[in-house]
Amino acid sequence: MLVGPTGSEPDWPDACAISSNLRAFDSGPTSRLAYRVSRFFAVLFGVVLGASAAAAEWPIPTADGTIWQYLLTREGENRPGTLTRQVFTAKNPAEQNVLRIETAVNGASHSTEFLKNEGETILETAFRNANGETRAFDPPVTILPGDLSFGAEWNYRGPVAGLDLNLQLKIVGESEIEVPAGKFRALHFRGEKNDGLFTVADSWFVRGIGWVKEIVTQRGPSGDLLNRNSIELAKLPALSQTNPEQKKLEASVSTSSDGDPLDVVSADALQIVARWRGHGLRKNAKIRAVWIAQDTGVAPVNFKVDEATAVAPISNAFGKFTLSRPSDGWASGKYRVEFYVDDELIDTVDLTITPSEPRSRSLQDF
């Protein structure tokens, strides 16, 4: 920790306390250099630690790369096919309650759903078909309500058993159901619609797993069977084997909470935001960020400036550190931020701060 001239440690992250203590250095050349270094870092590490904002709890697995594998049966086809759904999460921690699910039928892209979680209600904000045509929904469409009690109803629009449907669903019961992935106690959803084509959709949902079985039957005006599709979960959802093992924590640096990750920042940037997001963390895991000046020409090489800690209340908690620009700009040089989970180094972010462009002089300067 930064230590004031009295030897006491200032409360983290109270930058004002650090700065006021550092002003007590005497005026000798060496002390002035020490003051310059310490003043810069006091400002740099006057961070505001974003509360480890808990992500809304999803009723389905949402780890990036999670994949559901189903056996697909279609009326008139002798051999079953395959249907898969895969999760792709947003890379921006500010969008932790947003994801997309891509569906493929027999290995070919079928559709993409863009989802968000509001109070455990899963909403669809947009839908993209196999032709790449995207339709946005305003207001969003309910895929799954937060209230999963018997009799709950909602207007649904999305894929069921490989068919794109638009109809009202209702929770009609709960029962034991067996599929290749195992036996489950599942909620039973049902929807019916007659718009010249009589459609009946049944699906069985298990909280924490997702949909384990879906059946869609469609008949013409005369009652002739036109389509009957069904899918059954073949194995429990798991991370795709084609995806590399996900780190416990991802980190990035930008100049705003929702900006693109950056590795170079100008010295006149108004702020620097260091962000982290957890994946599969244990409850109340300790997240520690260590800030290091690698080569600035001001501090010693690989100088450990300070560190801060936060507690992750849930597995996919996230946080941020907001660094406000000093009045005379950032000191240029190379830096890094090391992120630890329970004292294990998980991720390192390198950052270079470059001198700002000279400001052109105006008449007001004369």
Whether residue 166 contacts residue 146, with contact meaning beta carbons closer than 8 Å, is answered with: no
Within-domain flag for 96: yes
**pLDDT of 242:** 53
Is residue 34 over pLDDT 50?
no
Residue 26 in tokens:
């005497």
**Residue 19 sits in the same domain as residue 133:** no
Q: What is the pLDDT of residues 105-141, one digit of tens each?
A: 998 889 999 999 998 899 999 999 888 889 999 999 9
CATH number at residue 41: 2.60.40.2550
Q: How far apart are CA 358 and CA 366, in angstroms?
A: 17
**pLDDT of 45:** 39
Per mean pLDDT, which range of 19-23, 39-43, 324-328 is the poorest? 19-23
**At a CB cut-off of 8 Å and minimum separation 6, what does 35 contact?**
22, 23, 25
Whole-model pTM: value is 0.57
Q: How far apart are CA 287 and CA 281, in angstroms?
A: 10
Within-domain flag for 364: no
**Residue 349 sits in the same domain as residue 293:** yes
**Residue 108 sits in the same domain as residue 166:** yes
Instruction: Give the residue from 239, 262, 285 where a domain finishes.
Output: 239
**Residue 232 sits in the same domain as residue 155:** yes
Q: What is the pLDDT of residues 182-219, one digit of tens each?
A: 999 999 999 999 999 999 999 999 999 999 999 999 99
Within-domain flag for 102: yes
More confident residue, 14 or 349: 349
**Residue 220 sits in the same domain as residue 157:** yes
Over residues 62-76, the mean pLDDT reads 93
Within-domain flag for 293: yes
Q: Name the band, by pLDDT with cuts 50, 70 and 90, for residue 52.
A: very low
More confident residue, 168 or 312: 168
Identify which of 81, 85, 40 has the alpha carbon closest to the alpha carbon of residue 60: 85
Q: What is the pLDDT of residues 286-301, one digit of tens each?
A: 988 887 889 988 888 9
Q: What is the pLDDT of residues 79-112, one digit of tens each?
A: 889 999 999 987 666 677 899 999 999 988 899 9
**Residue 74 sits in the same domain as residue 167:** yes
**Residue 109 sits in the same domain as residue 159:** yes
Q: Which domain holds residue 217?
A: 66-239
Count of domains in the chain?
2
Q: Name the band, by pLDDT with cuts 50, 70 and 90, for residue 36.
A: very low
Q: How far apart are CA 127 and CA 131, in angstroms?
A: 11
Q: pLDDT > 90: what percent of the chain?
A: 45
Within-domain flag for 227: yes
CATH number at residue 147: 2.40.360
**pLDDT of 48:** 37
Taking the CA atoms of residue 135, residue 203, residue 99 and residue 149 in that order, the dihedral angle to the nearest 10 degrees is 110
